[in-house]
Structure 1
Amino acid sequence: MKTQLYINGLFILFFMGLITTSCNTGTKKVTENNIKFDSIHVEKTYHMLESPDNPNCNLQIEFIYPVKYTNKDILQKIQQQFVVSYFGDTYEKDTPQEAAEHYTQDYLKAYKELESDFKEELKKDKDQPVGAWFSYYEMSSNDIVYNENDILSYTVNMENYTGGAHGAHSHMNHVLNLKNGEPITEEDIFIENFQDNLSQILVDQITEQNKMENPKELENAGFFSIDEIFPNGNFLVDSTGITYTFNEYEIAAYVVGVINVHLSFDKIKHLLKQESPISPLIGN
């Protein structure tokens, strides 16, 4: 009797094992990247002509950057990508610390060059306030969005004001392949001639997000021509799909703001290469 129960128990365990194996077929593997980060914080304020009564500029930097990775050569390439994407090509040979310092110096220097114009404005009409047009600010940061399966997705956020009716905002996305330290582009993950099909999917998704039935209705809600909506290379990758970001004035009026369009892998699977850096994220 005990022998029969033991055999039945083995059969049940074997059967459950088959079910488990069957359920795991085609699932995504999740492997956290072995990369460590540090951050640099900068906050600087300078008043015109060094007088606290005059307009000022304010610079705020919250910069996250990689400091440790298993492959030191790849780490160096990734650090350079972070520096360039955040501060610009001018600082590509700088370390993260040098880039933050040099960028701060250059920002303050550029602002001080406005002091002669400020003096001239004061001479024109001392009763007319000119402070608002010379009160500048810039706030920047970057966020790690996805950090698994040898894929690193992050966003660089920028808000600044240099006079005028309102400030400007931008969000620039970046995806890196940690196997080689190189950026992942649309051409790396999509099949040839994907643009037209992906454009239509983007338009349809934006229409759905705005709870509209006809894409043409978007043009009555602050969007420009729907024919101008196409993949712009400004995308993120995570475990659920690809997210495109369209910044102010790119496909719609300023009042519409920044537009994020998330496309699940199911919606775009037919446009993805079978073998690409992001293949491990996609279920069979």
Structure 2
Amino acid sequence: MKFKTNKLHKTTQMMTAAVLTVGLLLPTAAVLETNGVQAAAAAATTQSAKTVKVTWNGKVLGVNAFQAKGDTYVPVKALAKAAGLPLTYDKTTGRYTLGTSPNSLVMSIYRGGVWIGANSVGLQSEGKVKGGTMYVPLSVLRDYASIESSWSAKTGTVALKPTAAAGVTVTQKSIKSTQKDAVVNIRYPQLSGSEAGIAKINAALKKHAEAFSANFEALMKEFGPLPSENMYYEADANFMVSYNKDGLFSVVMQDYSFYGGAHGSTIQTGYTFSLDSGKQVTLDQLLKGNPNYRSDIDKKIAAAFKKTDLAFDSNSFKTIGSTPNFYVRNSGITIFFQQYEYTAYAAGIPSFDFTFTSLLPKGTNPFAGL
């Protein structure tokens, strides 16, 4: 299990002071001690990093990757060129974008580290800068950029290729707004394919976005004009597809809003659906092979909170309960909590990674019978 906090990184063309504050949130030392792929450790690990070759569809990239702290770091520019992926830079926001939605990675360099967002939803895993070249972790490419990999110890080569299309097609939709004195950018996913549950899933995701939009407009009217002409209301919603195969679709909806004050607020919601039925899949269904999974998870999260100074009260966490926020990844699940639920705002969104192998008996298929 890894304990991480998803740092929120917000920059828009019409920046408010609050948005800028969110954008500058950095990982804390307590988190770095528990996550082996943090960019802040770059200076200490780069000297001892092992250089490895990397190929795309059998063709060697012009720049090597390197292994450090349990992950392999792949050169972004060389990967983009070899794979034919668009790599753009926005001077206004200082962000690089690799690929296209919903499998795009957004990157921003700070202090030698690289903040990464999956389709702009912030991840805790970060990249590194070495010799003026920007690198991203292979684990991020596998989980969020539809890239497969294999490792040859004999040749010291990481082979990359595009993931075979195994899930449904996802497109990005937006809700238009006529609000004045507000920055509104509300995006949500819509699926297409032959699976029976797609219509029901699309309706649920659209409803989520419409509810956020309606609530934002209602609160704007309630609060009235902001005190400064240089301050704007803001609603920014995006999503991150974390799993799209095996008859399962898992997505994180991220809703950011700013109504004045010191900073805005971000709420993340995890949805995991059966593509066949369109119904939401619960942790009980995924982890039915372990009747004691909740107790196992509770103990590990409680221990993780006690090892850090991020929680308001290191003993406040008791249980994830019956309906925790979670999403599915390639190798397991991530459970997360909201801002202020257990930690201060600066800690971001506390998230805990678990592999299926750590929670289920050997050989158990978590997707069987869904």
TM-score, structure 2 length as denominator? 0.48
Q: Secondary structure at 1:197's aligned position in 2?
A: helix
After superposition, the Cα gap between the structure-2 partners of 1:86 and 1:192, relative to the gap in structure 1 and judged at 3 Å, is farther
CA distance, structure 2, for counterparts of residue 200 and residue 104 of structure 1: 38
Pairing 1:230–2:319 present? yes
1:111 to 220, 242, 245: 220
After superposition, the Cα gap between the structure-2 partners of 1:273 and 1:177, relative to the gap in structure 1 and judged at 3 Å, is farther
CA contact (8 A) 2:167 2:244 kept: no
Q: Secondary structure at 1:64's aligned position in 2?
A: strand
CA distance, structure 1, for counterparts of residue 214 and residue 301 of structure 2: 41
Question: Residue in 2 aligned with 1:203?
Answer: 302
Higher helix share goes to which structure? 1
1:187 to 269, 278, 284: 284
Number of residue pairs matched? 204
After superposition, the Cα gap between the structure-2 partners of 1:251 and 1:203, relative to the gap in structure 1 and judged at 3 Å, is same
CA contact (8 A) 1:229 1:251 kept: no
TM-score, structure 1 length as denominator? 0.60
Pairing 1:258–2:367 present? no
CA contact (8 A) 2:188 2:205 kept: no
Letter of the 2:347 partner, please give it.
Answer: V
CA shift for structure 1 position 63: 1.9
CA distance, structure 2, for counterparts of residue 109 and residue 221 of structure 1: 33
2:194 to 70, 87, 96: 70
CA shift for structure 1 position 79: 1.1
Task: Please say which structure displays the higher CA radius of gyration.
Answer: 1
CA distance, structure 1, for counterparts of residue 315 and residue 363 of structure 2: 27
Gaps of 5+ in 1: 1-29, 48-55, 89-102, 119-128, 208-214
Letter of the 1:254 partner, please give it.
Answer: Y
Q: Secondary structure at 2:261's aligned position in 1?
A: coil
2:169 to 29, 36, 41: 36
Q: Deviations over 1:170-228 (max 9, x none)?
A: 22111111121111112212344532222012234xx3xxxxxxx5343x344433341
CA distance, structure 2, for counterparts of residue 42 and residue 162 of structure 1: 19
2:204 to 81, 89, 106: 81
CA contact (8 A) 2:167 2:246 kept: no
After superposition, the Cα gap between the structure-2 partners of 1:106 and 1:189, relative to the gap in structure 1 and judged at 3 Å, is closer
CA distance, structure 1, for counterparts of residue 368 and residue 229 of structure 2: 51
CA distance, structure 1, for counterparts of residue 269 and residue 247 of structure 2: 20
CA distance, structure 2, for counterparts of residue 163 and residue 256 of structure 1: 20
CA contact (8 A) 2:197 2:274 kept: no
Matches within 5 A, 1:152-171: 152-171=249-268
CA contact (8 A) 2:188 2:206 kept: no
CA distance, structure 1, for counterparts of residue 338 and residue 351 of structure 2: 9
Question: Residue in 1 aligned with 2:246?
Answer: 149
Alpha carbon RMSD of aligned pairs, Å?
Answer: 3.4
Question: Residue in 2 aligned with 1:61?
Answer: 186
CA contact (8 A) 2:238 2:254 kept: yes
Q: Secondary structure at 2:301's aligned position in 1?
A: helix
